[in-house]
Structure 1
Amino acid sequence: MSGTEEPVLFRTTGRAALITLNRPRALNALNHEMVRRIDAALTAWVHDPRVETVVLTGAGERGLCAGGDIRAVHDDARDGDGTASAAFWRDEYHLNARIARYPKPYVALMDGIVMGGGVGVSAHGSVRIVTERSRIAMPETGIGFVPDVGGTHLLARGPGESGTHLALTGDQIGPGDALWCGLADHYVPSGELPALLDDLAALPVPDALARHVRPSPRGELAEQREWIDACYTAGTVEEITRRLLAYGSPEAKEAAQTLFSRSPTALKVTLAAVRRARRLGSLERVLEQEYRVSCAALGGHDLVEGVRAQIIDKDRNPRWSPATLAEVTEADVERFFAPLGDRELGLDALG
């Protein structure tokens, strides 16, 4: 296999070690091999005194990473026993937690599309940079899944109910909203990223940033917080949709229509997951919860159907089961949070 075909590229230049996700035709979607290789590199760099900064970037023109390799998960859920997906998530979530507590600066260049698993390898980093091209989302409810990779932890900490809105709708946000929601730290124009990389190789991170950070474009969510908070504080998804429809703003009505297209089961589980994440507190405990939820989703109908409709057949017409919010019972939701016994993620034991 030639170097250009490696799914992740690693190189050290000056004081910086660079990770490049290298599946541009798949928009750098993460698979199990990539997760393992990144983790091994982070292990080596912890003990390498020449490496003072780690930088994450993506190959190609479209973005950092569109998410996990959801086709593989679909095939495993449909045709296999789910063990391959559970093993992938176990290593991926451990990597997410490791990035969050990495002892050296971890600089994520969140340029272009950053979704799902791409958020997991970037938004837990200590220095998160967005550009005018950044489009960030946790779009899982649209494929019958629930935000994972620590996404419910990040969104639960957003201002007011902004994270609940983003988790349920899966809406994409740009750089201004990412900064406001706490998913990013700095804005750098995309044209300056090559120079920033050069400076990160030569300078301490704060000095490199000082040369390139600019004021961010305005976001939209801060100005919409009144209706977002008024509607998404409701106790159930049914009540949220009622409030959105009744509120009177076009943005609220559009959000309601988005929710009606999402998996009813995924919506109810996502609302419960975000609310519980607020109480759980630490990223590790939330990842434990997400692992339970993800493994439960493998045995359900909507994940396979959602990926079929959105990604494989592309008919954009998923047939959710249950088909309505009213049919999704509390017991249906609670099943996703059931303990896994000796199959738990095991992050709590790591401290």
Structure 2
Amino acid sequence: MDKAVARGHKRDRKTGLGMDIEALAEGVLAGERRALARAITLIESGRADHRDAATQLMARLNAADHGREAMRIGLSGTPGVGKSTFIEAFGMMLTARGEAVGVLAVDPSSARSGGSILGDKTRMERLSREPAAFIRPSPAQSHLGGVARRTREAIALLEAAGFGAVLVETVGVGQSETVVAEMTDLFVLLLAPAGGDELQGVKRGIMEMADILLINKADGELQAAATRTCSDYAGALRLLRKRPQDPEGFPKAMTVSAMEETGLARVWDEMTELARWRRESGHWERRRAEQARHWFEAEVREGLLARLGREPVRGAMATLARQVEAGEITAAIAADTLLREYLGG
């Protein structure tokens, strides 16, 4: 066995995926679906050696300077609003236009509820069979940070593989919206036709994050209700403080029908127009830079929390906790002692 083959086998054992990092990176850059799937499996793994290999992979792709940039679209909405139907119809429309579409699902609640979001491939049968589309649900996680890290890296992998549009779906109305908004370029809120009472139930913070509000199910008997709801939301949006990153007319409310596949092309046109304006104004680049800084700081926090769970820190923390419980030391002094001893604070 020559040295090159030996090195390859050594790296194979490190990733545990039957492929070395260099070959994996080359496969992703070539747009090979099998390599992309393996790469995402690697970054999803919580094993320490796999995390090290994932870090090497991401560094290799970053060094490649491939210059590929997807439009990252965050999508949220309450259960039953038709997110899966919309994503499938929207994705099929985009692939018909020659776009390569990636779909990622962020589901921080699945560890508790076993949410149906992990059935995305069965709920989007047409899109899952489309050669220009790639659907990947997030693994169940007990905390949002783990999902966020893997989703951010998965977005980068899809970009490196040449996908021009990446849809990041979240389960709806909660902390996950903020997380997804911090890793995407545009944030879309999908809503169902409703009356004034339901309008009051949408959190102001989520509306302020949204770039486009889409009133789905604007068909059949719900057409009139959808039009009224769209007008109500458009009025509500006009009352919000105008954002410096928005051109005139944004954020805006629109009606669509995922079932009848109407209004989808207009939504994409509005998205691309907003993206064009933000690029020309410099906001796009600034926003990406701010997001990179945000996730760097998040990684540092995650790393510090992880260190607290390891020995000998965990043992020292348990000892100090017992002293705090017994009233022998205050919580503030105990925390300061631990941080000084193990973090040099």
TM-score by length of 1: 0.31
Task: Give the number of the structure whose alpha-carbon radius of gyration is greater.
Answer: 2
- If the length of structure 2 is used for normalisation, what is the TM-score? 0.31
